[in-house]
Amino acid sequence: MKKHNFSAGPSILPKEVLEDASKSVLELDNIGLSLIEISHRSKEFISIMEEATARVLKITELQNKGYKAIFVQGGASLQFLMTAYNLLETKAAYINTGTWSVKAIKEAKLLGSVLEISSSQDKNYNYIPEMNNIPNDIDYLHITTNNTIFGTQYKSFPDCSPPLIADMSSDIFSRKIDFSKFDLFYAGAQKNMGPAGVTLVVIKESLLNKVSRKIPTMLNYSSYIKADSMLNTPPVFAVYTTLLNLRWIESQGGINKLEKRNLKKAELLYAEIDRNSFFNGFAEVKDRSHMNVTFTLNNENLSDDFNKIWENNNISGIKGHRSVGGYRASIYNALPIESINVLINCMQQFEKLNK
Amino acid sequence: MKKHNFSAGPSILPKEVLEDASKSVLELDNIGLSLIEISHRSKEFISIMEEATARVLKITELQNKGYKAIFVQGGASLQFLMTAYNLLETKAAYINTGTWSVKAIKEAKLLGSVLEISSSQDKNYNYIPEMNNIPNDIDYLHITTNNTIFGTQYKSFPDCSPPLIADMSSDIFSRKIDFSKFDLFYAGAQKNMGPAGVTLVVIKESLLNKVSRKIPTMLNYSSYIKADSMLNTPPVFAVYTTLLNLRWIESQGGINKLEKRNLKKAELLYAEIDRNSFFNGFAEVKDRSHMNVTFTLNNENLSDDFNKIWENNNISGIKGHRSVGGYRASIYNALPIESINVLINCMQQFEKLNK
């Protein structure tokens, strides 16, 4: 029996995507060979790569606007380094909204001066800080649009004249936003996009080739663009499964439709957290993430009781991150509303038992 | 009908491995969830990672000898950079045996002084050059054990007092060698080890933390060792499929047995190339690779005829790399001897037609 999968990442993917990905490992489109045993220079794989990058630009409405989409290995963590390597000449600004921002700041400091212009560390990152005081004399401003661990999410984005860079790993393709506000954004695939092992980077090309340092080949965005993401053998399974998921997104009516569904799911779950006196939401209401819902028990001593209930209801992956404790329900694109209802039902069972 | 897959990489994998990998994408070991939608911090995935690194050390007979095995993203190409970042303080020596050595040298030059102490460029890399004159005052010597594009392979390795580093991407686990001669070796998975998207690095730990530069987190071997290759989300599908293939290697009797099989396959094919007057071997006989067999037609005008024959016989992936031309039959571990016989048969049909 299939579980209700609330894992924060790697996380739930659509059933159709898993089925087609599984088939491709045995044989890709009746070509007599597995996806993972053909050359990445074959016409079959070149067409997969081309379709994947084209679909990204279509979904984000960035076609013919000077942007390129590339696929890179190494996760968002390698992007913490690559963004700085390619774009940080003297000084960059970062907004610190938690663990991933902190890691991004750490890598950037190896290559230049870093201003942490705003932070929510004072309250264990349970809110998105104000974004006043954005300096003009910086190479870029870096933000993390959704904070998987703490369950916070930007609802609007800073208007700033320097280039705006975003780590969108945990909420890309979950909501309609104006992607053209960003000069560069990146996302590890393993939430709303595909399996772990590939990272999407979308870049305004005019941003590149301006720093004075020599950039190693495998860290250089320009090399990836020039080679159509085939600088060396790409992670073929992760790229193909991402393509399947991009097709699925469009088949569902695109991100407009997914946003509506995600909003509904988030509203249902937050409503129960607010109604049910045994639970507390962790993030400030105005900054609540629609992807990662963090909450705690009012009485931690009752956690075994609650754990038993959701485990018996076939729920998986809702234990909170150690930095927050409690619970985290990750409710990405592919999570059906049925799973939300099962979780709410567990919370209500728990309430009745303990009243 | 399954093809005879001579692709140079990504390349043929054992049928059992493909079947189990395909199943895992639907559901891993009856846990009710797909391999690619569970947390990499789950007990299931931690056990996969532990088994994979342990099997590597067992197969290479490097247990309890101060070595660590880690899995990294980015392919061998990222290792060209990482080896230098972690180990090149002032000066390193490289032996240039073709395209991949040239790329490794290019990245190392960004970080220190590079001596190209030997090269086979003068004859389009059709041989392995002598290895005299290895200086003692270098941080390491770097070699490429098998040259996929040119079809050459080291039959013995330099005895040298500085640390010895090897790119083993295209012949790891294909033959019994004394791995303890190497202080560090790495291999992109997509030949004999698994699918594209993961790279194995095996390191003598005492080599590390000696350079004076600050190493970015995602380029630092020590960080990967400390985090058991889970510095960030690893490429779970590629790691798991690699584990399946490591199990397969042991189920076949280990690399001793595979080496015997590979030798037989290589001998059969080279014997036909030498016997059949329509074909020429590209590499010098003493340095012929047992993994990538490069050969050309004596009369290029007949290539359409030969191409028709192997295409009709369900052969795939034997077109040569543009740097060499002609043909390249990659005959990795998983390629059955039956495929070799089919190819030889095609060469003999072609001979009869044109005599």
Residue A78 lies in domain: 15-251
Examine the domain organization and report whether A225 and A328 are in the same domain: no
Three-class SS of residue B250?
A: helix
CA A287 to each of CA A166, A281, A352: distance values in angstroms, whole numbers, following the listed order: 17, 11, 30
Examine the domain organization and report whether B154 and B239 are in the same domain: yes
pLDDT at position A201 is: 98
Three-class SS of residue A173?
A: coil
Assigned domain for A9 exists:
no
Contact B73 A75 (CB under 8 A): yes
Per-residue pLDDT, averaged over B102-117, amounts to: 98
- The answer to whether residues B129 and B265 touch, using CB atoms and an 8 Å cutoff, is no
Examine the domain organization and report whether A29 and A175 are in the same domain: yes
Q: Does A106 touch chain B (CB under 8 A)?
A: yes
Rg from Cα positions in chain A: 21
Per-residue pLDDT, averaged over A134-145, amounts to: 97
Q: Does B128 touch chain A (CB under 8 A)?
A: no
The vertex-B82 CA angle with A79 and B176, nearest 5°, equals 130
Examine the domain organization and report whether A92 and A158 are in the same domain: yes
CATH classification of the domain holding A325: 3.90.1150.10
Per-residue pLDDT, averaged over B104-128, amounts to: 98
Contacts of A123 (CB under 8 A, 6+ apart): none
Instruction: Say which amino acid occupies B185.
Output: F
Examine the domain organization and report whether B239 and B259 are in the same domain: no
Helix (H) / strand (E) element for A349: namely helix A337-354
Instruction: Say which amino acid occupies B91.
Output: K
Percent pLDDT > 70 in chain A is: 100
How high does pLDDT run on average in chain A?
Answer: 97
Query: Secondary structure of chain B: what % helix, strand, coil (to 5)?
Result: 40, 15, 40
Q: pLDDT band at B1, cuts 50/70/90?
A: low
Per-residue pLDDT, averaged over A117-146, amounts to: 96
How does pLDDT run across A170-210, given as a tens digit for each residue? 999 999 999 999 999 999 999 999 999 999 999 999 999 99
Q: Does B233 touch chain A (CB under 8 A)?
A: yes
Contact A7 B37 (CB under 8 A): yes
Q: Which residue has the tokens 């001669």?
A: B181
Examine the domain organization and report whether B282 and B239 are in the same domain: no
pLDDT at position A133 is: 84
Examine the domain organization and report whether A233 and A270 are in the same domain: no
Give backbone dihedrals phi and psi of A98, rounded to 5 degrees, phi first. Answer: 135, -170
Residue ending a domain, choose from B251, B284, B311: B251
Please tell me which of the candidates A25, A197, A233 has its beta carbon nearest to residue B190. A233
Assigned domain for A102 exists:
yes
Assigned domain for B94 exists:
yes
- The answer to whether residues A146 and A188 touch, using CB atoms and an 8 Å cutoff, is no
**Is pTM beyond 0.95 here?**
yes
Per-residue pLDDT, averaged over B90-112, amounts to: 98
Residue ending a domain, choose from B223, B251, B279: B251
| Measured distance CA(B235)–CA(A10) in Å, rounded | 10
- The answer to whether residues B194 and B241 touch, using CB atoms and an 8 Å cutoff, is yes
The strand pair at B292-297 and A292-297 is best described as unpaired
Give the sheet arrangement for strand A199-204, strand by strand.
Answer: A67-72, A199-204, A184-188, A164-167, A141-144, A91-96, A113-119
Three-class SS of residue A162?
A: coil
Examine the domain organization and report whether B237 and B258 are in the same domain: no
Give backbone dihedrals phi and psi of B198, rounded to 5 degrees, phi first. Answer: -145, 150
Contact A23 B23 (CB under 8 A): no
Examine the domain organization and report whether B179 and B90 are in the same domain: yes
Residue A2 has pLDDT above 90, yes or no: no
pLDDT at position A101 is: 97
Residues of A (85-104) whose Cβ lies below 8 Å from B: 103
Contacts of A197 in chain B (CB under 8 A): 73, 197-198, 234-238
- Domain count along chain A: 2
Residue B68 has pLDDT above 90, yes or no: yes
Q: Does B78 touch chain A (CB under 8 A)?
A: yes
| Measured distance CA(B305)–CA(A46) in Å, rounded | 27
Assigned domain for B1 exists:
no
Residue ending a domain, choose from A218, A251, A284: A251
Q: State the maximum Cα–Cα separation within chain A, in Å, rounded to a whole number.
A: 66
Contact B218 A7 (CB under 8 A): no
Q: pLDDT band at A1, cuts 50/70/90?
A: low
Examine the domain organization and report whether A210 and A261 are in the same domain: no
HSE (side-chain half, CA atoms, 13 Å) at B131: 19
Torsion of CA A51, A52, A55, A59, to 10 degrees: 180
The vertex-B60 CA angle with B169 and B175, nearest 5°, equals 60
Q: Residue A290 CA to chain centroid, in angstroms?
A: 12
Query: To probe the interface with B, which of A36, A78, A328 has the most B CB atoms within 10 Å?
Result: A36
Residue A353 has pLDDT above 70, yes or no: yes
Assigned domain for A50 exists:
yes
Per-residue pLDDT, averaged over B201-217, amounts to: 98
Examine the domain organization and report whether A294 and A338 are in the same domain: yes
| Measured distance CA(B343)–CA(B266) in Å, rounded | 12
Residues in chain A: 355
Per-residue pLDDT, averaged over B334-342, amounts to: 98
The ipTM, to two decimals, is 0.97
CA A29 to each of CA A20, A24, A50, A235, B23: distance values in angstroms, whole numbers, following the listed order: 10, 7, 17, 18, 17
Give backbone dihedrals phi and psi of B98, rounded to 5 degrees, phi first. Answer: 135, -170
How high does pLDDT run on average in chain B?
Answer: 97
| Measured distance CA(A91)–CA(B65) in Å, rounded | 45
Dig out the tokens for B12 from the structure: 């043929």
CATH classification of the domain holding B71: 3.40.640.10
Q: pLDDT band at A158, cuts 50/70/90?
A: confident
Contact B33 A5 (CB under 8 A): yes
Examine the domain organization and report whether B94 and B65 are in the same domain: yes
How does pLDDT run across B246-281, given as a tens digit for each residue? 999 999 999 999 999 999 999 999 999 999 999 999
Assigned domain for B187 exists:
yes
The strand pair at B315-316 and B4-5 is best described as parallel
Contact A316 B33 (CB under 8 A): yes
Q: pLDDT band at B29, cuts 50/70/90?
A: very high
pLDDT at position B355 is: 87
| Measured distance CA(B153)–CA(B147) in Å, rounded | 6
Residues in chain B: 355
User: What is the set of active-site residues of B?
Assistant: 100, 167, 191
| Measured distance CA(A311)–CA(A313) in Å, rounded | 5
Q: Where are the alpha helices (DSSP H) in B113-229?
A: 221-226
Residue B158 has pLDDT above 90, yes or no: no
User: What is the set of active-site residues of A?
Assistant: 100, 167, 191
